[in-house]
Structure 1
Amino acid sequence: MLAAETRSFSRAAALLRIKQATLSRNVLLLEHRLGVKLFERRTRGAFVTPEGLPIIATARRILTEVETLQTRARAMRNGDAGELTIGFCSSLTAGDLRFAIVEFQRRFPDVRLNGVERDRGFLHHALHAGVIDLAVVTGDLGDPGVRRRPLWSERVLVALPDEHPLVETERIYWHDLRRQTFVLGTQDPGPDLVRLLQARLAEPGYEPDVETQDVSRENVLAMVSAGWFLTLVSESALGVNHPGIIFREVHEPTGQARIDYGCYWRSDDTSPALRRFLGLIRERYPDA
């Protein structure tokens, strides 16, 4: 390549820091192997022959592809490229998970990011099977075989039909929600919110009216807007407009009611892209 570009074996050898005789011998061996004369040797230099032009062009293309492969391999090794699959159970329309993913894609645009939205049980199995690299869920998987890091917490909100009497209440506490009918979906974080409702609203002689239905979060909210019942959501659900529904924060005596999220990954997962994502999480949420 250098001999073709400089039109001189001596200048090419000097740039390569080898003897001219060594370069000339290697070129002769290549010509013999290919059965094609690549250079016309003259007193004024070495010139590529017409037969050698397409071969030199192919060699130049191969070298460029090798350099590209080397650059991509370094990027994958450093976590700047590659693939990362995140499993989650919350909406990506708003909330901390969405912000973390958007920031990760901004910093590492060459990493292909895949998402899997399923319930916590499925994500737990998918993590062990290697289908996903990271699971972001509520609650605790209770599995010593995976590593865990606490993440953020999200506000718990009650979804009310826009004509419900509680819409006019300045601040809603748990006791304001007694005697109301609640329906939650089976998708996470629905089961955690059911347990939260039962823990906060139960009292001697009274069990809260809470049921679960095997429908999506969006359809539960659609039924709320029709005035059938109330439901609870985490604040990540606020990214989509839901006509006919008013979202109000639920308060504890000590502050806003919240639900905690954590992330889980296999201890033997050495993915550089995963390492980059966890680094971003530590940077963004150092106190988690």
Structure 2
Amino acid sequence: MVRKGDRILPIQVRHLNYVVAAVDHGSFRRAAVALGVQESAVSRRIRELEERLGTALFIRSPGGVKLTQAGKQFVQRSRKALSEIGLAKAEVSAIGRGEDGHLQIGIFSSLASGFLSDLVQAFCERHAAIKLTFIDGNPSEHLAAIRQQQLDIAFITGAAEWPGFASQQLWSERIFAVLPSNHPRAGDPKVQFSVLAHEAFIVSEAAPGEEIHDYLVQRLADLGRHPEIHQHAVGRDNLMRLVALGRGLTVTSEATTAAHFPGVVFRPIEDEILPFCAVWSSSNENPALAGLLNLARSMTSVAEQPAFSFLFPEKEDDVRQDALTT
């Protein structure tokens, strides 16, 4: 902007375009032809700009125009400004079309295999320019992050209504018991909780350890057992190693079973199914989020997984934390 007296006179993008075109074409007439405007418009706007700047940018002659020293400096800056404006317009346009941008995704399931893994792979193939950031956590942490706009979407367990959020059930996974490879039931094609009820179990203190703990308590309590469950401050890999060493059994969702952990086997627990859903804020206008949701819906069989969406007045005390309860 240029100050004149008590007024601030803006320098417009078209001023810059006219000046640069005049330099590139050597005359106002040829610049006007290239820009598709009248020569008088180019001449008038450049004269107006010179008045605002308080200095001449061009030396005019019948053969065309040449830059003054001040004009050379101004054009150098103008080209950089126009380049930045062009880049900004292209970036914003790409984000608006969902072709570029950033998605922050909360996950509660393994990416080793299954629906979520397939969804991420398909989305990356279609939208390679969109940056994806993944955050592990439990449902209550993810919901708080969505509320604070720190996450765009979370894929969590359960088929409940989530007050204050939009949600859609997308897929289900079987629940597997994780056994040492020398366990008496390791050769069975599937197992029942009733035959494991006397066993000791181990879970991680990190997500989803708390939810697995609550899940085990409920399932084993239904069998009249007070379960022996030990928590360890380790990640999934070391938890699996502890199972292999005979420190206890654990359970996991089907997606994890594609990963290889020496010394353990995965056996499905009969009749145990875990639904998964996407949860997001209905006020989130991130175009990349809309693209991810559309793709997820297209990959979901409506006949097998009825979809639902909720938006209720937000009640802090109503947010469910027992996500593994089905």
TM-score (ref. length: structure 1):
0.84
Q: CA deviation at 1:227?
A: 0.9
Instruction: Say if 2:251 is the partner of 1:259.
Output: no
Residues 198 and 47 of structure 1: is their aligned pair in 2 closer, same or farther, counting only changes over 3 Å?
A: same
Contact persistence 1:174–1:201 (CA under 8 A): no
3-state SS in 2 of match to 1:15: helix
Q: Structure 1 unaligned segments of length 5 or more: list them.
A: none
Aligned counterparts of 1:135 and 1:77: Cα–Cα separation in 2: 22
Q: What is the one-letter code of the residue matched to 2:215? A: R
Instruction: Say if 2:69 is the partner of 1:67.
Output: no
Instruction: Say if 2:119 is the partner of 1:104.
Output: no
Aligned counterparts of 1:88 and 1:129: Cα–Cα separation in 2: 17
Aligned counterparts of 1:106 and 1:189: Cα–Cα separation in 2: 32
- Of 210, 225, 249, the residue aligned with 1:207 is 225
3-state SS in 1 of match to 2:29: helix
Q: CA deviation at 1:200?
A: 7.1
Q: CA deviation at 1:131?
A: 2.3
- Of 174, 180, 187, the residue aligned with 2:199 is 180
- Give the alignment's Cα RMSD to 1 decimal: 2.8
3-state SS in 2 of match to 1:23: helix
Aligned counterparts of 1:166 and 1:146: Cα–Cα separation in 2: 42
Instruction: Say if 2:132 is the partner of 1:78.
Output: no
Aligned counterparts of 1:112 and 1:27: Cα–Cα separation in 2: 42
3-state SS in 2 of match to 1:261: strand
Greater shift in the superposed pair: 172-181 or 76-85:
172-181
1:30-49 equivalences under 5 Å are 30-49=49-68
Contact persistence 2:213–2:229 (CA under 8 A): no
Deviations 1:52-89 (A, max 9, x none): 33422321221121111112122222333333222222
> Who is 2:38 aligned against?
19
Q: CA deviation at 1:128?
A: 2.3
Contact persistence 1:162–1:244 (CA under 8 A): yes
Aligned counterparts of 2:296 and 2:209: Cα–Cα separation in 1: 21
Q: CA deviation at 1:260?
A: 1.2
Contact persistence 1:139–1:261 (CA under 8 A): yes
Q: CA deviation at 1:195?
A: 2.8
3-state SS in 1 of match to 2:186: helix
> Who is 2:287 aligned against?
272
Residues 258 and 150 of structure 1: is their aligned pair in 2 closer, same or farther, counting only changes over 3 Å?
A: same
Contact persistence 1:84–1:274 (CA under 8 A): yes
Residues 189 and 272 of structure 1: is their aligned pair in 2 closer, same or farther, counting only changes over 3 Å?
A: farther
Q: Structure 2 unaligned segments of length 5 or more: list them.
A: 1-19, 306-326
Contact persistence 2:212–2:251 (CA under 8 A): no
Instruction: Say if 2:211 is the partner of 1:191.
Output: yes
3-state SS in 1 of match to 2:198: coil
3-state SS in 1 of match to 2:124: helix
TM-score (ref. length: structure 2):
0.75
Instruction: Say if 2:128 is the partner of 1:113.
Output: no
Contact persistence 1:138–1:189 (CA under 8 A): no
> Who is 1:166 aligned against?
185
Contact persistence 1:87–1:118 (CA under 8 A): yes
1:219-234 equivalences under 5 Å are 219-234=238-253
Residues 129 and 33 of structure 1: is their aligned pair in 2 closer, same or farther, counting only changes over 3 Å?
A: closer
Residues 192 and 260 of structure 1: is their aligned pair in 2 closer, same or farther, counting only changes over 3 Å?
A: farther
Residues 169 and 19 of structure 1: is their aligned pair in 2 closer, same or farther, counting only changes over 3 Å?
A: closer
Q: What is the one-letter code of the residue matched to 1:209? A: P
